[in-house]
Copies of this chain bind each other. A is one copy, B any other.
Amino acid sequence: MELDKYFIKSELIPAVITDYKTNEVLMLAYMSKESLELSLKTGETWFWSRSRKKLWHKGETSGHVQKIHKMYSDCDNDTLLIEVEQIGGTACHTGSRSCFFNEISLEKKYSQEEIK
């Protein structure tokens, strides 16, 4: 499969990882061409760790791998969306199910009443 098209803008492509049943966004991480090849071959997510500067098989140590159910690219092929089954139930190293647990207070917020 021709993967070069995903790495035209950058050597790394962001991958949004979601739960294949609920659509919940679990995390965002970056893939190199090599890690994307490994992901497609193994059916489990591999990323490029920007902090450790190395290939990273998500869950290799903890056993909390992500089994890939579906993968999409966006309209201009610079972002991936990957629907996974998160083994162990937690995607975040903090132990949280999803990495996105810090709610940001909104100065102006639309409530259900305003939308109607």
A interface with B by C-beta (< 8 Å): 1, 14, 16, 18, 22-25, 27-28, 40-43, 67-75, 77, 79-81, 85, 92-94, 96, 99-110, 115
- Residue among B24, B74, B75, B101 making CB contact with A75, cutoff 8 Å: B101
Contact A71 B28 (CB under 8 A): no
Identify the closest chain B residue to A22 (Cβ).
B23
How many copies the complex holds: the figure is: 2
How far apart are the CA atoms of A104 and B36 in the complex, in Å? 11
Residue contacts A-B, CB under 8 angstroms, 11 given: A40-B106, A41-B107, A43-B109, A69-B109, A72-B100, A74-B100, A74-B102, A75-B94, A79-B99, A81-B100, A85-B115
